[in-house]
Each structure stands twice: as structure tokens, then as C-alpha cells.
Chains A and B, each alone.
Chain A
Amino acid sequence: MSNQPHLTALDLDLVVLGQASPEHVARIDAHSDACPVCAARRAEHGEHVQHFRGSVFPRTVEGLAPKPRPGWRWGLGLGLALPLAACVLLLARSFPGGTNHTNLSSQPEVPGTIGIKGPATVGVFARRQRPSTEVIKVNDGDRLSAGDALRFVLSPTGLPYVLIASVDGAGQANVYYPFHGEASIAVDPRGTVSVPGSIVLDEAPGPERIFVIHSEKPIPAEAVRAALGKLGAGGAGVIRSVRHLPLAGTVQSTLLFEKEEGR
């Protein structure tokens, strides 16, 4: 053991990022020249960086986007997606209160209210890694972890457009479905919608509220982001308590979960 200061990972990474000052780089160079341990670490670090840039990045960048990804992530194809949808329908029939839902009829404060054939309900399922790999139904207020992957199954509302978005404890608004979409996406208004792919939760801790927004006409994603931004600006308490966005002509369901750090 020794107390001699060596180069840290931060030293090496700041150089790689081009964020080290010339003086800092000079100190790193001088230390590397004098310290075989750090010289070896720096060389190893450099090899890994080069390998990433030359091999890993080109092969993986295309598939990286955290969009709802096809079933490979869960091993979910139609084989599991369809039974999931069936489960949701059964749950909805057997336990009307068991599905997270918000019924527009109970939200008269929203202007431009429209009539729908049924309550907007969303079944949210999480594939968790801890404490063991399992798929659970997410209920309002549940605690989830970074790395958990969420899937959505939407009940028919008679409305032909839907958009799924969320706001997290940091006030960050995200549109998940359609991913990077500019507006709501058309869906079968009479059928159960199993949203393709899954959303992988990031590390930002705190509450995250998801809104599923059904509508007769496409809703601009920017309007949803703006509404979510205002909600997020109110802080965690507001995110936990507000269950409806002021978006005219929409039917919404919502779900809150608390994100924990780690997995």
C-alpha cells in the first residue's frame, strides 16, 4: 500500500474528452513519464478508448436509442405480448379498480371535453432485474429502479390517437410514444393497444408521472411537453399530486411511480 498520489480515472477521462487544460495535460504527462504504474494504466485506458471508437461505437450506435425497442430486450414478441394484453383485459374485467385509470367524466374542469366509449385505462408492466428477474404489474405509487423496463397496454377508448409522455423529478419531460414524434400517433380506436418495445428507466431518482393522452385529433408533442414542463417546474410534490394535464379535447390516464437509484 502507498499514499503516493496517482492519476485518477477523472484525469484520464478528461483528457479523452478534451476537457483537460493544457496545464493539467502537462501534469498528467509528467506523472506518467515518472510513474510506471500510471503509465501502464494510461496505456490500458487508451487501448479501451480506441477499441470503443474503432469497434464498439460503429457496431452499437444504431441500436442504442432509448426508444421503445422491439421485443428482444424483454424476449417479448407476440408470444408474450398477446398474453399480456389478454391479462390486462381480464384484470380490467375482474378488478375494475385494479387497473390504473383516469376517467374523463370525472374531470369536468378540462375544456373541450369529448365523449368516449369507455374509460381510458392503461396497464403498465415492468420487467425488473432486482431482486430477481420478473415481470410485475405496476400500480400507482410503486417504487421502481433504474434499469427496469416498462411496457404499456392501452384499453380501447374509441379515440384514434394516443401519445405517452412523462415528467420526472428533475422536471424533464419526455415523449415515449411515438418516440421522437411530433404529435400523437394513430391507433386502433376499438382495439387494445400493446405499445411496441419498452422504456428503460434511467438513474434520475424521484417521482416520475406518466400520462397516456388519447384524443380525437393529433395533439402536438410540443404542447404536451409544455404542459409537462409547467408541472415539473412545480417540483416533486406537484408531480405526485397533479393527475391531469390541461390539454383540451383529450382523455388521459396517468400513473405515478417513484424511481430509486441503483438496480
Chain B
Amino acid sequence: MHPERLTDLYRSYGPAIYARCRLLLRDEGAAEDATQETFLRVWRRLDRVPDAREALYWIYRVATNYCLNEIRDRRARDVPVEKLPEVAEAKGAAEARIEDRDLARHLIERVRADLRVVAWLYHVDGFEQDEVASVVGISRRTVVTRLADFRESAQKLMRRNAV
């Protein structure tokens, strides 16, 4: 690929990647690093995909995985463990979305790795289940199962926090 094409791709998709990384990491410098890492992982594919929607799906998948891993590593390095906020209305149907993004973030950071991306896309990004399936590359049935598992894990975490 010609360097100018690479620059064009970065100019086009960089804002979306950066905005996502900022949302996930809540840190300007970390988001900047994550943006470059994500872009270096996806640029070849960005040049080949036929439309922006598919490119963004790929970006969401890669950037979310990367940033959630960063968050996990950050938590592993941190000594104090933040307490979960108390949310009385947290119990609900598996399909119910968590409105409070800070709560969603706290919960997602603490559940199994295979649940995190699905939970983030659904509860934070607001994707529908079939869209989550497209982004992650899994079946809708698996999305439903993982959301149910996430809900169960989240409720355990909140009960533990409430004690």
C-alpha cells in the first residue's frame, strides 16, 4: 500500500477509532496509543472492505478487544479495587440495557473475557443483538447466551458489592 493511502485511511477512520478508545479507556494518552495499535492491526482490512459499515464493525471488534485487555491489565496493576456503584434497578430482563455507562464499565471489566466485548457492544454501544453478532463474528444465539451469562455475573457482582 502506498504511504499516502495509509495516511488517507488513518485520516478517515482514525477519529472513529480514537473516539472509541477514549470512551473505553477514559484516558487521553492511553487512547492515543490504543488508536495507533488498533489502526496498525486493521489498516490492511480497511483498504479492502467495500463499505464503511463493515470497516467500522471490524474496528469495533479490534479496538474493543484491545482496550478491554488494557483495562484488565490496568486493573491487575492497580492495588485498590474500586467499588461498584449501587444501582437498585439493576435486576431486570437479560435484554434490558444498562443505562449507566459507568456501571456498565465497572461490571464489564470484571466479568469473563468472552463476555466483555459482547456486553460492551450491547450495553454501552447500544447495538442490537444481531448487530453484535455481526461485529464479533458469532451467532445471535451465542450473543443471547453471553448476555445472559453477563447478566448473571453482573448480578452476582452487585450483590457482593451490596453486602
B77 interface contact, C-beta 8 A? no
A3 interface contact, C-beta 8 A? yes
Q: Mark B2-46, 1 if CB is under 8 A from A, else 0.
A: 110011001111111011101100001001100111011111110
Q: Which residues of A contact B98 (CB under 8 A)?
A: 1
| Stretch of A51-59, A102-110, A115-123, A187-195 at the chain-chain interface | A51-59
Query: How far apart are the CA atoms of A16 and B90 in the complex, in Å?
Result: 33
Query: How far apart are the CA atoms of A129 and B96 in the complex, in Å?
Result: 36
Task: Give the residue name and chain of the B residue nearest to A57 (CB).
Answer: B14
**Given A48-B15, A64-B6, are A10 and B53 neighbors across the interface (CB < 8 Å)?**
yes
**Given A9-B126, A45-B19, are A52 and B56 neighbors across the interface (CB < 8 Å)?**
no
**B36 near A8 (CB under 8 angstroms)?**
no
A34 interface contact, C-beta 8 A? no
Q: Mark A72-89, 1 if CB is under 8 A from B, else 0.
A: 000000000000000000
Query: How far apart are the CA atoms of A5 and B98 in the complex, in Å?
Result: 12
A30 interface contact, C-beta 8 A? no
* Distance between B7 CB and nearest chain A CB, rounded to angstroms: 6
Q: Which residues of B contact A7 (CB under 8 A)?
A: 126
Q: Which residues of A contact B31 (CB under 8 A)?
A: 48
Total number of A residues with any Cβ neighbor in B under 8 Å: 43
A204 interface contact, C-beta 8 A? yes
Q: Which residues of B contact A14 (CB under 8 A)?
A: 52-53, 56
Q: Mark A10-36, 1 if CB is under 8 A from B, else 0.
A: 101110110100000000000000000
Main secondary structure of the interface of B (DSSP, over half): helix
**Given A1-B98, A146-B41, A202-B43, are A13 and B10 neighbors across the interface (CB < 8 Å)?**
no
**Given A1-B96, A9-B126, A14-B53, are A203 and B19 neighbors across the interface (CB < 8 Å)?**
no
B60 interface contact, C-beta 8 A? yes
For the A-B complex, the count of residue pairs with Cβ-Cβ distances under 8 Å equals: 132
Task: Give the residue name and chain of the A residue nearest to B35 (CB).
Answer: A56
Partner of A263, one of B16, B18, B53, B69: B69
Query: How far apart are the CA atoms of A48 and B35 in the complex, in Å?
Result: 12
Q: Which residues of A contact B147 (CB under 8 A)?
A: none
**A1 near B90 (CB under 8 angstroms)?**
yes
Partner of B96, one of A2, A5, A180: A2
* Distance between A234 CB and nearest chain B CB, rounded to angstroms: 18
Query: How far apart are the CA atoms of A14 and B32 in the complex, in Å?
Result: 21
Partner of A10, one of B12, B32, B127: B127
**B45 near A202 (CB under 8 angstroms)?**
yes
B140 interface contact, C-beta 8 A? no
* Distance between A127 CB and nearest chain B CB, rounded to angstroms: 13
**B62 near A2 (CB under 8 angstroms)?**
no
Q: Which residues of B contact A60 (CB under 8 A)?
A: 32, 35-36
Q: Which residues of A contact B44 (CB under 8 A)?
A: 172, 174, 202, 204
Q: Mark A163-181, 1 if CB is under 8 A from B, else 0.
A: 0000000101010000010
Choose among A19, A53, A64, A204 the residue with the greatest number of B CB atoms under 10 Å from its CB.
A64
Query: How far apart are the CA atoms of A56 and B97 in the complex, in Å?
Result: 33
A262 interface contact, C-beta 8 A? yes
**B12 near A1 (CB under 8 angstroms)?**
no
Which residues of B does A touch, CB under 8 Å? Answer: 2-3, 6-7, 10-16, 18-20, 22-23, 28, 31-32, 35-37, 39-45, 48, 51-53, 56-58, 60, 62, 65-66, 69, 89-90, 92, 95-99, 125-127, 131
22 sample A-B contacts, Cβ–Cβ < 8 Å, listed by A number: A1-B97, A3-B96, A7-B126, A8-B127, A9-B125, A10-B131, A13-B16, A13-B52, A19-B53, A48-B22, A49-B18, A56-B32, A64-B7, A64-B36, A64-B40, A147-B37, A200-B40, A201-B41, A202-B42, A203-B42, A203-B62, A204-B44
